[in-house]
Structure 1
Amino acid sequence: MRVAMLSWEFPPKTVGGLAQHVYDLTAALSGRGVEVLVFTCGAPGVPEIEEVNGAKVYRVHPYTPGTPDFVTWVMQLNVALLERAFPAIERARGVNVVHAHDWLVAWAARALKHGLRVPLVATIHATEFGRHNGLHNDLQRFISSIEWWLCYEAWKVIVCSRHMEGELKYIFQVPQDKLAVIPNGVNPENYLVRQAHPPRDWFAAPDEKIVFYIGRLVREKGVHILLAAAPLVLARHPQTKFVIAGKGPYEHELRQFAERLGIAHRVYFTGYVDDATRNALYSWAAVAVFPSLYEPFGIVALEAMAAKVPVVVTDAGGLGEIVQDGVDGLKCPPDNPQALADKIVALLGNPDLAEALRTRAYQKTLRDYNWGDIARRTRAVYEAVWHERRRIDWPDPFAVRPRPAGKVYQFLGRYA
Structure 2
Amino acid sequence: MGSSREGNDVAQGNLKASQLERVQDLVARRTAGLSLEAPFYTDQDFFDADMKAIFGRHWLFVAVDAEIPEPGDTTTIDFGPYSVIVVRDDDEELRAFHNVCRHRGARLLDAGCAEIGNLVCPYHKWTYNTDGELMHAPAQAPDFDRSSFGLRTVHVRSVAGLIFICLAEEPPADFDEVAAVIEPYFAPHALKGAKLAHRTDLVENGNWKLVLENNRECYHCDGHPELIGAYFPVFAIDDDEDVPPNLRTTYERYRKTLAEMYEVYDRLGLPYEHIREVDTRTTGFRVQRDALDGAGESYTLDGTAACTRTLGDLPEKRLGYLSMHMQPNSWFHVVGDHAITFSALPISPDKTLVRTTWLVHPDAEEGADYDLGAMTKVWTATNDQDAALVARGQQGVTNPAYVPGPYAPSEHQVEAFVNWYITRLEEELKR
Q: Normalising by structure 1, report the TM-score.
A: 0.28
Q: Normalising by structure 2, report the TM-score.
A: 0.27
Larger RCO (CA within 8 A; separation ≥ 6): 2
As a proportion of its length, which structure holds more strand?
Answer: 2
